Structure 1
């Protein structure tokens, strides 16, 4: 039996609320996507920073994980910490916020009939108290996500190369070139999941060819297209109905 994964659009702008039940013996990597997550796992509040490589989910086998996934560039203002300080890390929220506040939030979540909705409310309340995300960095993320070049994006944002790199580190956790690679990989995977042949998905997403996409998959995900998307292809062919692995 596959992972029990569900998601919905959040009331928090650009975010996704998701739940994941992990069966015994199921281990699936989470691929880089430029996002950061606030997580409720095993009675703890955690923050998942932006990944540069595939990460193993924190939920124990047989347990459940609840999260809210923030769009690139959104979470640092909410959390009060530059994204690059959390790159490739999973940290307790108590390491970022006052311990007493996190203790109260933890008790509220433990008693909540719907932890996903409660987690979303935490994010919404925090957003009301926080400085809004840098709108220029949201613009940068949108353009890179649409396949625009880093040079063109910097020009249209009115930023020099070094300035864009510095602000990208704070907003996304890494420079714009890395973010562009991560978002391009996600575009290609989305196309491939929808049934587009790998070679066409590669070019449409902005890779030179399928070999280029394969290299990016190895570098950023540590696996191959076939290994990662094989279960999805079987579903489309009418085979094993297990859902894909993405939280």
Structure 2
């Protein structure tokens, strides 16, 4: 089993602070969720871009780890990089920012902290203070798609044409609104199934055509059957 994982709400609105100890066995698979993370492990600060498929850490990912998980669409403004440039990638913060000395200073500060997760949160709050506030339009897009509305209905509700919404989504979320909608639907299904809702009912409530459609989508996005994900 992997070492213990814990998370809490961040003082940064709509973000989550999480920690994981050193891996004691198989590394944990990270499922796509529309989010981006600022990551720390000893001596390193990284950014996890938005995933379109399950991410399985390789060798050298034993940890311990701390992270800030940003609400979909909020990290690009804080980090100064379009989300689509980081899609399906884990990138050193120093490779994104030209100020290598500044990144080294940040890393050393988190390394030396008694509570690295709290120090990482302070760093994220500092980034947020130096960035424009989150765009409420992006939050409206996420809320609409998370509720199961179609891309067309979402575009109409926020007053954007389909092409403009697609361009906005690439920059903010890392992929088009159809992919984001599919990932958010996966997360709805996982939440329902893990709460004990039968799979057929989960499929209907989450917006799938049927249980077979649910099973195919889960396999394509995660590489695992829904039953296995529910047990994790």
Asked whether the equivalents of residues 49 and 87 of structure 2 are also in contact (C-alpha less than 8 Å), the reply is yes
Q: Distance in 2 between matches of 1:99 and 1:50?
A: 24
RMSD: 1.4
Equivalent positions of 1:1-247 (< 5 A) are 1-57=1-57, 60=60, 62-97=62-97, 98-231=99-232
Q: Distance in 1 between matches of 2:81 and 2:94?
A: 13
1:208-244 deviations in whole A, cap 9, x for unaligned?
111111111111111111222234xxxxxxxxxxxxx
Q: Distance in 2 between matches of 1:34 and 1:61?
A: 22
Instruction: List gaps (5 residues or longer) in structure 1.
Output: 232-247
Instruction: List gaps (5 residues or longer) in structure 2.
Output: none
Asked whether the equivalents of residues 32 and 54 of structure 2 are also in contact (C-alpha less than 8 Å), the reply is yes
Residue 154 of structure 1: SS of its match in structure 2?
Answer: helix
Residue 51 of structure 1: SS of its match in structure 2?
Answer: coil
Residue 85 of structure 1: SS of its match in structure 2?
Answer: helix
Runs of 4+ in 1 over 4 A off after TM superposition: 58-62
1:153-178 deviations in whole A, cap 9, x for unaligned?
10011100000000000000000000
Change (3 A) 1:44 1:59: farther
Residue 91 of structure 2: SS of its match in structure 1?
Answer: strand
Aligned residue pairs: how many? 231
1:25-47 deviations in whole A, cap 9, x for unaligned?
22231110000000002320000
How high is the TM-score relative to the length of structure 2?
0.95
1:63-100 deviations in whole A, cap 9, x for unaligned?
31100000000000000011000000000011122111
1:121-173 deviations in whole A, cap 9, x for unaligned?
10101111112232211110111111111111100111000000000000000
